[in-house]
Structure 1
Amino acid sequence: MSEGAGRQGIALSEKQRIAWLRLIRSDNVGPVTFRDLINHFGTAEAALEMLPELSRRGGASRAIRIASRAEAERELDIAQRHGAVFVGIGEPEYPALLRKVDGAPPLVAAKGNLQIAGDTAVGIVGSRNASIVGAKFAAMLARDLAAAGYAIVSGLARGIDTAAHRASLASGTIAAMAGGLDQPYPPENIGLLDEITSGNGLAVSEMPFGWEPRARDFPRRNRLIAGMGLGLVVVEAASRSGSLITARNAADFGRLVFAVPGSPLDPRAHGTNALLKDGAIVTTGAADVLEALAPLHEPKLFQPALGADEPPAENDDLALPPSDSDRDRVASALGPTPVEIDEIIRHAELPAATVYLLLLELDLAGRLHRYPGGLVALAAD
């Protein structure tokens, strides 16, 4: 494992950390919107000041809720009481591979050994209702990959996830969580989570403390799993499975996807066999994974995507707010069908900075939907 060697980044000040937490916890601010706000206004504090105006200009029907300083300070205090920290995407301790993912969370809550989330990690996921053979294979794979220096990333679920975590406890395992760090799911894995965070492991979440995971939160957790590893191994997965969503995320992020073949008669192998048909790498042992990942260990392959509140660049296009005619041109280019932002820029014949700012206005007003791949569409009224 790299133990964080050669990590780059700039530490946030306490003032910046509070402002970042306030911004990401405010209404209609997701990771992509957060990034665009920082890019436009330079700091989270400046972005917070602009939120009401941007939302109003975007046509919001009510005032936008902005997280208060007291709320952010309270969340930081809760994290400290739990032995956790909030790490910003531009800081050295942020999971090295995750920071290169499009839409990576600007802040993650983390508890445990921050040094293991380097650039040598592999995800292992699979069925909650794992077979005995599947669980044994996941454990064997995790041990062998860990022995080769890889941290093992999984989702703390029953079955394959649990087997992978337990097999790599001593060497280093990372649990990505759908709820707050104090809300593990399933509850039966509370003890496992304690073992992970008190030993050589790490737990991460983008959700607030006290947040009980809901069904719609698990895809976000799946993105964390896919983003924190160089590759993802699916051991068992049914045709409709969260593991397949994780595999799709990994492929979208440019990660290698591995699948363990199974019997056509076992429903738990239908998803993995389908992945193999779609081009996943056949995996019958750790050697298959190690051989495929070896070429990816190039110096500076993954670099930070966002610094810590860097000063804004001079931009004459943003010297004045966009005009109403500019808003009309962008609005007319949008519809219910997702389109690329570059297409909007060409269609509206406006500077890119102006279009991005107008999209921010719509987003903060709750009138824009963002889709994977950077596509956007108007939200239904």
Structure 2
Amino acid sequence: MSDDLIDRLRLVRSPGIGPITYRQLLARFGDAAAALAAVPDLARRGGGRSPNLFNRGDAEREIARVETLGARYLILGQGLYPRLLSEMDDAPPLLMAKGQLGLLERFAVAIVGARNASAAACRFARGLAHGLGQQGAVVVSGLARGIDSAAHDGSLDSGTIGIVAGGIDIFYPPENQERQKAIFEHGLVLAEMPPGTEPRARHFPYRNRIIAGISAGTVVIEAAPRSGSLITARLAAEAGREVMAVPGSPLDPRAQGCNQLIRDGATLVQSAADVMEAIRPFEVKVESAPVPYEAPIAPTECDESATRAIEELLGPSPVPVDEVIRLSGVPSGAVQMVLLELDLAGRLDRHAGGKVSLR
């Protein structure tokens, strides 16, 4: 049990330290141990109290539990951590993985859709997943009812990755227990949450960003407006990945989300060949030589007057960090340091698209 893993886990599990803050801390201080030591002072300088840091004993117990389950940690920027996922600003610093780790070296396509999917859509999803597997793709989905389950079933023999919203040892929904166990054996299951975590509504968007981020493209098959599948599609688009949709009858409410995606510019697909044609540029990218992990610009010290100027530019409405840098005239690293201090003090909210606001 390495000290570095323990320290990283303590950072990840500490309240108020999200993926972006974690990356900024490591970029500034070089390693997790130094970052942990610096957090109390940074929070004080930001005008708040130090976060209640996750203690070492709890971290050691979680690591032992993961090992007992036959799983292992994947660390952002190291080893087999998925390359496409690491490109996302809010990529999980740590993932738990159980199953065939070699699947992470292949390019992946996500298939998502309605939990209450029609029988015809489930059959299509199984066939599409099987066809993608025959052409060398790994199929990613969220181990939910309906389309997700069908996609995993169709690709179990060729390669499938299930992303769960709770702990890696939790079977949700319960009827998918045997399916998840089969993926442990023949595919791969990934989880961001600690073992024993029962999935809650707030966990699913986090899971969806992993599905979108690990994949070269996302295919949506039956999705109602405002569904989780459309959130996954939006996250994929924001990450610069291919968004694809299978058209459906305008008389079926479950097809409205897919048809709207196509109207908004998603690629219409009807076969595995269509999908492969759309993601070909990403296939080349994933199969090329690994790109070294690039840390964000390291935060640097900032004087008191510059700190005040930056805080005065912030308010309750989200504003892009790039705009704060431009208007303040303060170097990027110094702005990032002020934001880091405010974040650790519990005074800053981070939003999608690199935006921030004061609480």
Query: Which residue is 1:180 aligned to?
Result: 167
Query: Which residue is 1:44 aligned to?
Result: 32
* Distance change >3 Å, CA 105–CA 374, structure 1 → 2: same
Query: Which residue is 1:340 aligned to?
Result: 320
Contact map agreement 2:50 2:344 (CA 8 A) in 1: no
Q: TM-score, normalised by structure 1?
A: 0.90
Pairwise CA RMSD of aligned residues? 1.8
Distance 1:206 1:301 in 2: 26
1:158 equivalent in alignment to 2:138? no
Contact map agreement 2:73 2:97 (CA 8 A) in 1: yes
Distance 1:352 1:98 in 2: 24
1:269 equivalent in alignment to 2:255? yes
Q: Deviations over 1:45-76 (max 9, x none)?
A: 1110011111111111x441111221111110
- Given candidates 205, 217, 223, the residue that maps to 1:231 is 217
Query: Which residue is 1:110 aligned to?
Result: 97
Distance 2:175 2:85 in 1: 28
Distance 1:55 1:378 in 2: 15
Distance 2:44 2:171 in 1: 38
- Given candidates 260, 263, 273, the residue that maps to 1:287 is 273
Q: Secondary structure at the match of 2:127?
A: helix
Distance 1:170 1:158 in 2: 19
Distance 1:187 1:281 in 2: 34
Q: Secondary structure at the match of 2:172?
A: coil
Q: Secondary structure at the match of 1:329?
A: helix
Distance 1:119 1:100 in 2: 16
Q: Secondary structure at the match of 1:204?
A: strand
**What amino acid does structure 2 have at the position aligned with 1:369?**
D
Distance 1:91 1:301 in 2: 15
Q: Deviations over 1:171-203 (max 9, x none)?
A: 11101111111123211111111000112x111
Contact map agreement 1:41 1:47 (CA 8 A) in 2: yes
**What amino acid does structure 1 have at the position aligned with 2:14?**
S
1:168 equivalent in alignment to 2:155? yes
Distance 1:351 1:291 in 2: 43
Q: TM-score, normalised by structure 2?
A: 0.95
Deviation at 1:148, TM superposition (A): 0.4
Contact map agreement 1:178 1:217 (CA 8 A) in 2: yes
Deviation at 1:357, TM superposition (A): 0.7
* Distance change >3 Å, CA 180–CA 304, structure 1 → 2: farther
Query: Which residue is 1:56 aligned to?
Result: 44
Unaligned runs of 5+ in 2: none
**What amino acid does structure 2 have at the position aligned with 1:48?**
L
1:79 equivalent in alignment to 2:59? no
Query: Which residue is 1:14 aligned to?
Result: 2
Q: Secondary structure at the match of 1:360?
A: helix
Contact map agreement 1:100 1:302 (CA 8 A) in 2: no
Deviation at 1:359, TM superposition (A): 0.3
Distance 1:336 1:119 in 2: 43
Query: Which residue is 1:329 aligned to?
Result: 309
1:367 equivalent in alignment to 2:347? yes
Contact map agreement 1:330 1:344 (CA 8 A) in 2: yes
**What amino acid does structure 1 have at the position aligned with 2:346?**
G
Query: Which residue is 1:9 aligned to?
Result: none
Query: Which residue is 1:92 aligned to?
Result: 79
Within-5 A mapping of 1:192-207: 192-199=179-186, 201-207=187-193
Unaligned runs of 5+ in 1: 1-12
Aligned pairs, how many? 357
Q: Deviations over 1:67-119 (max 9, x none)?
A: 12211111100000100111101122112321112210111011111110234
Contact map agreement 2:110 2:217 (CA 8 A) in 1: yes
Deviation at 1:306, TM superposition (A): 4.2
Contact map agreement 1:26 1:65 (CA 8 A) in 2: yes
Distance 1:15 1:69 in 2: 10
* Distance change >3 Å, CA 301–CA 244, structure 1 → 2: farther
Deviation at 1:301, TM superposition (A): 7.8
Deviation at 1:297, TM superposition (A): 3.0
Distance 1:43 1:183 in 2: 31
Query: Which residue is 2:234 aligned to?
Result: 248
Distance 2:74 2:341 in 1: 27
* Distance change >3 Å, CA 156–CA 26, structure 1 → 2: same
Deviation at 1:292, TM superposition (A): 1.4
Contact map agreement 1:102 1:253 (CA 8 A) in 2: no
Distance 2:343 2:122 in 1: 43
* Distance change >3 Å, CA 237–CA 304, structure 1 → 2: farther
Q: State the identity %.
A: 50
